[in-house]
Amino acid sequence: MPETAALAGAPRVPLTGWGRTAPTPATLIPVHGEEEARAVLRSRPPRGLVARGLARSYNDAAQNAGGQVLDMTTADRVLDTDPATGEIVVEAGTSLDRLMNLFVPQGWFVPVTPGTRYVTVGGAIAADIHGKNHHIAGTFSQHVSWLDLLTADGEVRRVGPDQDPDLFWATAGGMGLTGVILRACVRMKPIESARILVDTDRTPDLDSLMALLSESDHLYDYSVAWIDCVAKAARMGRSVLTRGRFARRDELPARQQADPLRYHGSVKLSAPNVFPPGLLNLATVAAFNEVWYRKSPKKKRDQLQGIGTFFHPLDSVGEWNRIYGPRGFVQYQFVVPFGQEDALREAMVRISNSGHASFLAVLKRFGEGNPGMLSFPAPGWTLALDIPVVGGLARLLDELDDLVVDAGGKVYLAKDSRVRPEVFERMYPELEKFRAVRARVDPDGVFTSDLARRLSL
């Protein structure tokens, strides 16, 4: 029976997000499809349940202390494809990595990818992920025609932008709190090659970076800036900006034109679990940033790069989150509207003067938002930081929260692990609408998580 298969022998294990902070124990149940998910739902676990994919959210969104967590990665079949339109129907546990390995050789790329390809389709929708092309293509959910959602009453509802749109846009960005995403129909992006034509510009400070982005970002499909958050004074915000688009077949060297769509994503090595606390400190990060900035070209045009190099450089190292040591790290990402550049500058000043070192920091411009009630992207500037967990970090992030919300901005739910509930409520004005939709389909709060409890969602 499906119920026995799903529940028998399921282990109780400590779970964390990718930041490796605040572990909590839960019963982790592999789910191979709809019937097994429904069987767990019928058991009515007293502490509720939430779905979990590849655990690349940085926080407690896929944790459920004392409750049940559905491991959806075993539900990863491709159910249907349309080679003429690029529409595919997949189970929610299918990873973007698998989609790329299957469909790039056929001339199709995922419509939106974050900085890692190890994200499930269900997770991509639940977090409403964005990528380097948000200013052109929007979020992942904007390329979903429909999804099948298992709700708390045991029914499977097909929803989409034109089918119960309120439930669809509560699910897109809703962090798994409206039900279990089982399947989705995704529109892929046509490509002629698996190579990207990349332009690189090195900028000396934050203002020159923002000016360059404002003037010419619309000319590129993909855009991101690595930014030095340790540099101060006149060098504050110095950056390496990389922008590009997929190359046409006739733009490749002759030797590559015979097989322009050749691609296989892989992990080249794995980080050992031996890194001590404090390895990434102000001195080591400052030294790395200096080398990285100096070795980057001041200006380079039409460099061909592979998909992994351009989109997912960290994916070549398995378990790279271990380099932050046993205490883990926080990823903090915020957006402030266009016209609030002073708030972004002030945030950079506070970060560079704080003594906290961000090993990886990126700045992008967002395009228009979507109707998602808890969707993060909105027109403006978005900065993302990886910061090791050390004393005094909470105070800095609380100060940044206040600065961001006063500027009309917000933080990203898929990365937040500590924002104060009263501040979060100010950041997301459609929160009450989300709560109303959630109450309609799950009045007893069966679907829950550590994040949901922390923020009283």
> Contact at 8 Å (CB) between 86 and 188?
yes
**Residue 441 or residue 281, greater confidence:** 441
**Residue 388 or residue 194, greater confidence:** 194
pLDDT of residue 275: 64
| Among 128, 126, 117, 132, residue whose Cα is nearest residue 149 | 126
pLDDT of residue 4: 44
Q: Comparing 174-188, 204-218, 348-362, which segment has the lowest mean pLDDT?
A: 348-362
pTM for the full predicted model: 0.95
Q: Is 329 helix (H, G, I), strand (E, B) or coil?
A: strand
- Section 81-107 average pLDDT: 97
Going along the chain from its start, the domains and CATH numbers come out as: 78-191 (3.30.465.10), 195-420 (3.30.70.2520)
**For residue 262, what pLDDT band results from cuts at 50, 70 and 90?**
very high
Q: Is the pLDDT of residue 337 over 70?
A: yes
| Among 185, 195, 214, 226, residue whose Cα is nearest residue 85 | 185
The pLDDT > 90 percentage for the chain reads 81
> Contact at 8 Å (CB) between 75 and 52?
no
pLDDT of residue 295: 87
- pLDDT (tens digit, 9 = 90+) per residue, 122-163? 999 999 999 999 999 999 999 999 999 999 999 999 999 999
| Average pLDDT, rounded, for the chain | 93
- Residue type (1 letter), 356: H
- Measured distance CA(303)–CA(333) in Å, rounded: 29
Question: What is the DSSP code string of 61-113?
Answer: TT--TTSEEEEGGG---EEEEETTTTEEEEETT-BHHHHHHHHGGGTEE-S--
**Residue 284 or residue 246, greater confidence:** 246
User: Which structure tokens are listed for 273?
Assistant: 């679990």
Count the neighbouring beta carbons within 10 Å of the beta carbon of residue 93.
28
Q: Is the pLDDT of residue 268 over 70?
A: no
Terminal C-alpha separation, the chain: 34
Could you tell me which residues come within 8 angstroms of residue 229 by beta carbon, excluding any fewer than 6 positions away?
A: 237, 348, 351, 352, 357, 358, 361, 385
Q: Is the pLDDT of residue 2 over 60?
A: no
pLDDT of residue 379: 98
